[in-house]
């Protein structure tokens, strides 16, 4: 088992590290824990978009995996099942959407010693499959100032003054009452901004729009402001649904945006536009279902991936029947538009 703590800014520093994070089961009491150095954390974040603080593996599993690796003559110790799979059946490089995506983290001399003691073998690096982690989403809310995103969208904390021009599409977000803890979607994270900009370019008046993983409801309300005729906002988290409902009523859009707790199975296809600012781990699994929700000729907009994992997402989404139409970056994050032919 590996452990990722939901700590964000304090350890990771930069704002772009905030937000999409993974957490796994707590380690068992006898688990061997390898704490990552700041350099290793940074490397892992750039490769996965996840913030990982330590790797925690039960001794029996560590020994089993180390024997497999030693037998295969590997200098890397796989510490997850998908990493073992990748070690035994490596995918030809450059192949889209192939085997499990794994990350190699080079060990420090101290960590080499720790692993040597625990396994009886000497390894230079760890191999980890980010797909073995459950994912959580966090964002720190800041009610200070309105934000402009794209050409026309303004994200405004409720009650804050903003001199809107006639062309501005204002999305008000609820402020201050503590109920937003753990809910993502302030408009400050690059993934949300990328999704907003891409929606601004692709939502047409009267469109049916699905916002899968609505968080605060920010994309759903923006889609309605952009002229969508009907928007369904889905989220599997109760806290997100409660905040999204507040956002929708704050914006006077209860007639246009429906918020429902649930996953893609709660959708009522077809939609002209489907948006999902969701992590690759989830997206790659959902790709076939996503294809079934988008009308032929419609688009799927997604933004929850770092550059190193974009190919993984492109592979899965294109294999499900989409064509990649556009790709944009903000920092390490990538936004993509896929069209269903």
Ligand X SMILES: C[S@@+](CC[C@H](N)C(=O)[O-])C[C@H]1O[C@@H](n2cnc3c(N)ncnc32)[C@H](O)[C@@H]1O
Q: How far is the CB of 276 from ligand X (least distance, A)?
A: 7
Q: How far is the CB of 19 from ligand X (least distance, A)?
A: 7
Smaller CB separation from ligand X, 69 or 253: 253
**Among 3-11, 33-41, 209-217, 287-295, the segment contacting ligand X (CB under 6 A):** 209-217
Taking CB under 6 A as the criterion, which residues in 111-150 touch ligand X?
137
Q: How far is the CB of 189 from ligand X (least distance, A)?
A: 6
Q: How far is the CB of 234 from ligand X (least distance, A)?
A: 5
Q: Is 137 exposed, middle or buried (0-12, 13-18, 19+ CB in 10 A)?
A: buried
Smaller CB separation from ligand X, 146 or 215: 215
Exposed e or buried b per residue across 105-117, where buried means at least 16 C-beta atoms within 10 angstroms of its C-beta: bebeeebbebbee
Smaller CB separation from ligand X, 82 or 247: 247
Smaller CB separation from ligand X, 40 or 305: 305
Smaller CB separation from ligand X, 77 or 291: 291
Establish if 212 lies at the interface with ligand X (CB under 6 A): yes
Taking CB under 6 A as the criterion, which residues in 232-291 touch ligand X?
234-237, 240, 263, 277-278, 282
Smaller CB separation from ligand X, 77 or 256: 256
Taking CB under 6 A as the criterion, which residues in 169-198 touch ligand X?
184-185, 191-192, 195
Q: How far is the CB of 165 from ligand X (least distance, A)?
A: 24
User: What whole-number distance in Å separates Cα of residue 95 and Cα of residue 98?
Assistant: 6
Q: How far is the CB of 263 from ligand X (least distance, A)?
A: 4
Query: For residue 154, which of 123, 193, 125 has the smallest C-alpha distance?
Result: 193
Q: How far is the CB of 136 from ligand X (least distance, A)?
A: 8
**Among 108-116, 167-175, 210-218, 317-325, the segment contacting ligand X (CB under 6 A):** 210-218
Smaller CB separation from ligand X, 69 or 232: 232
The angle that helices 59-71 and 109-119 make with each other, rounded to 10 degrees, is: 100
Number of residues that bind ligand X (CB under 6 A): 23
First to last CA, the chain: 41
Taking CB under 6 A as the criterion, which residues in 290-309 touch ligand X?
304
Site of interaction with ligand X (CB under 6 A): 20, 137, 184-185, 191-192, 195, 212-215, 218-219, 234-237, 240, 263, 277-278, 282, 304
């Amino acid at each position: 088992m590996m452990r990722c703590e939901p700590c964000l800014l304090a350890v990771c520093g930069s704002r772009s590290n905030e937000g999409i994070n993974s957490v796994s089961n707590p380690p068992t009491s006898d688990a061997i824990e390898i704490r990552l150095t700041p350099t290793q954390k940074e490397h892992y974040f750039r490769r996965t978009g996840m913030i990982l603080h330590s790797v925690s593996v039960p001794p029996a599993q560590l020994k089993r995996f180390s024997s497999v690796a030693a037998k295969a003559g590997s200098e890397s110790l796989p510490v997850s099942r998908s990493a073992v799979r990748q070690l035994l059946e490596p995918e030809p490089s450059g192949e889209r959407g192939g085997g499990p995506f794994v990350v190699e983290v080079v060990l420090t001399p101290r960590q080499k010693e720790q692993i040597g003691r625990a396994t009886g073998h000497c390894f230079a690096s760890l191999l980890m499959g980010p797909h073995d982690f459950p994912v959580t989403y966090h964002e720190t809310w800041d009610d200070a100032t309105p934000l402009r995103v794209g050409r026309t969208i303004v994200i405004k904390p409720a009650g804050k003054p903003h001199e809107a021009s006639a062309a501005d599409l204002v999305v008000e977000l609820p402020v201050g009452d503590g109920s937003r803890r753990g809910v993502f979607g302030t408009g400050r994270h690059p993934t949300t901004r990328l999704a907003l900009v891409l929606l601004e370019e692709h939502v047409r008046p009267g469109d049916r729009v699905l916002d899968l993983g609505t968080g605060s409801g920010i994309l759903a309300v923006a889609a309605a402001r952009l002229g969508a005729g009907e928007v369904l906002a889905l989220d599997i988290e109760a806290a997100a649904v409660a905040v999204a409902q507040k956002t929708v009523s704050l914006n006077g859009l209860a007639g246009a945006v429906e918020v429902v707790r649930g996953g893609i199975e709660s959708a009522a296809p077809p939609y002209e536009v489907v948006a999902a600012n969701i992590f690759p781990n989830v997206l790659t699994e959902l790709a076939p279902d996503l294809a079934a929700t988008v009308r032929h000729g419609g688009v799927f907009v997604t933004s929850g991936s770092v550059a190193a994992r974009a190919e993984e997402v492109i592979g899965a989404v294109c294999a499900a029947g989409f064509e990649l139409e556009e790709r944009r970056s903000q920092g390490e994050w990538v936004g993509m538009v896929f069209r269903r032919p």
